[in-house]
């Protein structure tokens, strides 16, 4: 009997061991689609230059600014902002950092609604002691992106919205609202250049930037 059981055990094929595939971290990231149509990207690196006319200081604050953004889960993104501004008023200079997150909702293939919020921190150095300090605050934006004129590999985008800023800095008001408008030309799928203009209550700001999208 023992010999028979041993023979049967050896003759019976072993049950296959179930295999489990570990989830890939990259599945969280937006990698874009290559279906021949244009899609707004939220994973990109951007570098630009801006100039702000400051009514309170009767001067301009100019400098570089940049953003690194990472699209997540097909509807969200996180980002890190940096801006450096200098003005002749009392030899003043500001470094501002922003860390935030946003969501984008496609109404149509060529229209996205966008909302974002960020924590802000800036460090101001100035010969004026009342301006020489560090501050924290926040900002939030509600807006839209519209691909107004599509072309092969890209198109002309119009974008804009309303931004609320609560941060003490060079701006004439510590708490200010701003209407923002902009245009962006997308080409070669990955590259784009943009221009922006902001109405910050008493102040005005314009900027130019270049972006690489992934």
Is residue 7 domain-resident? no
Structure confidence at residue 128 (pLDDT) = 85
Domain that residue 84 falls in:
40-213
Rounded Cα distance, 184 and 178, in Å: 19
Rounded Cα distance, 54 and 208, in Å: 18
Question: How far from 160 is each of 119, 137, 195, 197, 199, CA to CA, in Å?
Answer: 21, 22, 11, 9, 11
Provide the 8-state DSSP code for 4.
H
Provide the 8-state DSSP code for 36.
S
- CATH number of domain containing 47: 2.40.128.100
Is residue 160 domain-resident? yes
With contact defined as beta carbons under 8 Å apart, do 192 and 154 qualify?
Answer: yes
Structure confidence at residue 56 (pLDDT) = 82
Q: Which of 17-31, 86-100, 198-212 has the lowest mean pLDDT?
A: 17-31
- Joined together, the tokens standing for residue 41 give 């990207």
Query: How distant is the alpha carbon of residue 29 from its chain centre?
Result: 14
Q: Where do we find the tokens 């990231």?
A: 29
Decide if pLDDT at 75 tops 70: yes
Query: How distant is the alpha carbon of residue 114 from its chain centre?
Result: 10
pLDDT band for position 30 (cuts 50, 70, 90): low
Decide if pLDDT at 31 tops 50: no
Question: How far from 141 is each of 102, 126, 178, CA to CA, in Å?
Answer: 9, 29, 9
For the chain, the domain total comes to: 1
* Phi, psi of 25, deg, nearest 5: -60, -30
Is residue 46 domain-resident? yes
Is residue 31 domain-resident? no
Concatenated DSSP letters of 42-73: --EEEEEEEEEEETTTTEEEEEEEEEEEEEET
Is residue 25 domain-resident? no
Report, as an integer, the average pLDDT of 11-29: 52
- If you count them, how many residues does the chain have? 214
- The model's pTM: 0.82
- Joined together, the tokens standing for residue 23 give 């989830």
Is residue 11 domain-resident? no
Q: Model confidence over 93-126: pLDDT tens digits? A: 999 999 999 999 999 889 999 999 999 999 999 9
Is residue 117 domain-resident? yes
Rounded Cα distance, 37 and 152, in Å: 9
Is residue 22 domain-resident? no
């Amino acid at each position: 009997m023992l010999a028979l059981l041993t023979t049967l055990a050896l003759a019976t094929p072993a049950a296959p061991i179930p295999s489990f595939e570990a989830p890939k971290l990259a599945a969280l990231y937006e990698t874009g689609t290559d279906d021949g149509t244009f899609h707004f990207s939220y994973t990109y690196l951007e570098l630009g230059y801006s100039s702000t006319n400051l009514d309170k200081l009767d001067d301009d604050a100019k400098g570089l600014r940049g953003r690194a953004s990472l699209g997540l889960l097909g509807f969200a993104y996180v980002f890190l902002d940096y801006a450096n501004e200098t003005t002749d008023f009392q030899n003043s200079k500001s470094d501002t950092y922003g860390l935030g997150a946003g969501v984008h909702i496609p109404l149509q293939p060529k229209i996205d609604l966008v909302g974002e919020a960020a924590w802000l921190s800036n460090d101001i150095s100035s010969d004026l002691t009342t301006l020489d300090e560090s501050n924290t605050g926040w900002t939030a934006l509600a807006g839209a992106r519209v691909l107004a004129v599509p072309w092969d590999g890209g198109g002309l985008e119009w974008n804009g919205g309303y931004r609320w800023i609560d941060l003490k800095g060079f701006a004439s008001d510590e708490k200010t609202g701003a209407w923002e408008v902009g245009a962006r030309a997308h080409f070669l799928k990955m590259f784009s250049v943009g221009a922006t203009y902001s109405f910050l209550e008493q102040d005005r700001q314009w900027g130019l930037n270049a972006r690489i999208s992934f």
